[in-house]
Amino acid sequence: MKKAVTSREPTVRVTRARAAASQSSSSVPSKPHKTAKRSVQDENKNSATATDGVQKKRRAVLKDVTNMCCDNSYKNCIVPAKIPRKNSMLTKKNPVKSQQVSANSKSMKCDDTEREDKKTISSSQVYIDIDSDKQDPQKCSLYVCEIYSNLRVAELIHRPRFDFMETVQKDVTQSMRGVLVDWLVEVSVEYKLEPDTLYLMVHLIDMFLSKNYIERQKLQLLGITCMLIASKYEETIAPSVAEFCFITDNTYTKSEVIKMESQVLNDLNFHLSAPTTQKFLRRFIRAAQASQQSPSVELECLATYLAELTLIDYNFLVFVPSNIAAAAVFLARWMLDQSSHPWNYTLEHYTSYRPLDLKNTVCALHGLHLSDTNSTLTVIRSKYKQDKFISVASLPSCELPETLF
């Protein structure tokens, strides 16, 4: 019995601290199974975390530095110029399901923005997104609206005077300018120049004449020099100086052309990026064809023909290029189809013009089209009578009722 008692005695010396610890532990029931289970989970969790820290750790660097993946990434580096207009130029991916109301314009409205079904919106108040294709980088879909916003500001700043014939020029008349432009159109057809070259050339001529007096003997020299500058800016391969001297029957020498080129560039302070009618017309035609299943080539040719007619007429300098482009699309749609109104909410959204805003320009363009059949300047009309332009110059002009505006 003494041996049994001896075997049960502790082999370690019991101190007061150990005795107090054993008493406190005996007062609270222990749960060895749960404690052991919890410790196993903790060990597994810690080991998994340590493994992930070595193999699956993500590198926190730039979030997004592209201009193709995020719709808002470019807005941090582009500050577009703002102009007062009636509709916001920012496009929506789905204008029917996600409508946004502009703070200072009449934009698309819905009765309840929380509802998924937005069929209560009037169809006339919904525009078609023409910039939905964000995969093609050449279309600049992410910032095309900001580009045209800046062009709308630039057309007000960099524009020729509409009265330079009366205030600056004494030896050159409106008819002389018209003859010059008509001849330059013929030259551009002969050399197969781009439409942007033609519009930029006329813009440079008017800008120079707005500031500098010129004699009529130098007017043709100014014309071929501005065509040379515009060709260098727009064309892939521009005609040489010798070719421009040749088309004038060597009336001017190379040195005269180069000297005039230097004078024009310095006078314009080398500012050649002009918002011409062609730049706006290209986008407005696209907006006009948004509701059609296939693009209308006839509409494009007719609108281009009407816009090109305004290059000859000096009186159209009172209108800004965007207004002329919108008026050309308005009149072209009406000439091709009188069964419906030529304007819709998509065109109003992308042009920022209502029909009433275009009334004066459309009426002036309509009168110009009527008088073109009796005009002695026939190059543009002959150009658009060709089959490749679907002979749009032969289309009759329709009467414009007041109800359109």
- Using the predicted structure, report yes or no on whether residue 102 has a pLDDT greater than 90: no
The whole-number average pLDDT for the span 110-119 is 36
Q: Determine, yes or no, domain membership for 105.
A: no
Helix/strand/coil for 168: coil
- Using the predicted structure, report yes or no on whether residue 120 has a pLDDT greater than 90: no
Q: Determine, yes or no, domain membership for 299.
A: yes
- What pLDDT is recorded for position 379? 94
Of 361, 368, 370, 357, the closest CA to residue 398 belongs to: 370
**Residue 206 · residue 236 · CB < 8 Å:** no
For residues 286 and 363, membership in a common domain is answered with yes
The whole-number average pLDDT for the span 189-204 is 95
CA angle, 15 then 18 then 24, to 5°: 140
Q: Determine, yes or no, domain membership for 47.
A: no
Q: How far apart are CA 381 and CA 305, in angstroms?
A: 8
Work out the pLDDT band at 131, boundaries 50, 70, 90.
Answer: confident
Amino acid residing at 334: W
For residues 244 and 316, membership in a common domain is answered with no
Q: Determine, yes or no, domain membership for 238.
A: yes
Q: How far apart are CA 386 and CA 394, in angstroms?
A: 10
Record the tokens describing residue 118, joined without a space: 């937005």
For residues 246 and 290, membership in a common domain is answered with no
- What pLDDT is recorded for position 22? 59
The whole-number average pLDDT for the span 256-262 is 96
- Using the predicted structure, report yes or no on whether residue 403 has a pLDDT greater than 60: yes
Of 359, 354, 284, the closest CA to residue 326 belongs to: 284
CATH of the domain at 399: 1.10.472.10
- Using the predicted structure, report yes or no on whether residue 23 has a pLDDT greater than 50: yes
Q: How far apart are CA 385 and CA 379, in angstroms?
A: 10
The whole-number average pLDDT for the span 268-277 is 92
For residues 371 and 343, membership in a common domain is answered with yes
End residue of a domain, out of 267, 298, 330: 267
- Using the predicted structure, report yes or no on whether residue 255 has a pLDDT greater than 80: yes
For residues 259 and 297, membership in a common domain is answered with no
For residues 400 and 302, membership in a common domain is answered with yes
- What pLDDT is recorded for position 145? 87
Of the listed ranges 142-146, 183-187, 316-320, the least confidently predicted one is: 142-146
End residue of a domain, out of 241, 267, 293: 267
- What pLDDT is recorded for position 19? 60
- Using the predicted structure, report yes or no on whether residue 42 has a pLDDT greater than 80: no
Q: How many domains does the chain have?
A: 2
End residue of a domain, out of 240, 267, 294: 267
For residues 382 and 310, membership in a common domain is answered with yes
Q: How far apart are CA 93 and CA 95, in angstroms?
A: 6
For residues 257 and 222, membership in a common domain is answered with yes
Q: Determine, yes or no, domain membership for 139.
A: no
- What pLDDT is recorded for position 263? 96
Residue 278's CB is within 10 A of a number of other CB atoms, namely 19
- DSSP summary character for residue 404: G
Q: Determine, yes or no, domain membership for 166.
A: yes
For residues 187 and 248, membership in a common domain is answered with yes
- Using the predicted structure, report yes or no on whether residue 198 has a pLDDT greater than 90: yes
Q: Cα–chain-centroid distance for residue 237?
A: 26
- How long is the chain? 405
Q: How far is CA 395 from CA 176, 190, 385, in A?
A: 28, 25, 9
Q: How far apart are CA 18 and CA 389, in angstroms?
A: 106
Work out the pLDDT band at 35, boundaries 50, 70, 90.
Answer: very low
Which string of DSSP letters, residue by residue, matches 186-202? Answer: HHHHHTT--HHHHHHHH
Domain coverage including residue 197:
162-267
- Using the predicted structure, report yes or no on whether residue 80 has a pLDDT greater than 50: no
| Percent of the chain at pLDDT exceeding 70 | 68
* The pTM of the whole model exceeds 0.75: no
The whole-number average pLDDT for the span 12-24 is 57
**Residue 68 · residue 134 · CB < 8 Å:** yes
pLDDT, tens digit, 9 for 90 and up, residues 325-351 = 999 999 999 999 998 899 999 999 999
Q: What is the mean pLDDT of the chain?
A: 77
Residue 30's CB is within 10 A of a number of other CB atoms, namely 9
Q: Determine, yes or no, domain membership for 289.
A: yes
- What pLDDT is recorded for position 375? 87
More confident residue, 295 or 101: 295
Q: Determine, yes or no, domain membership for 127.
A: no
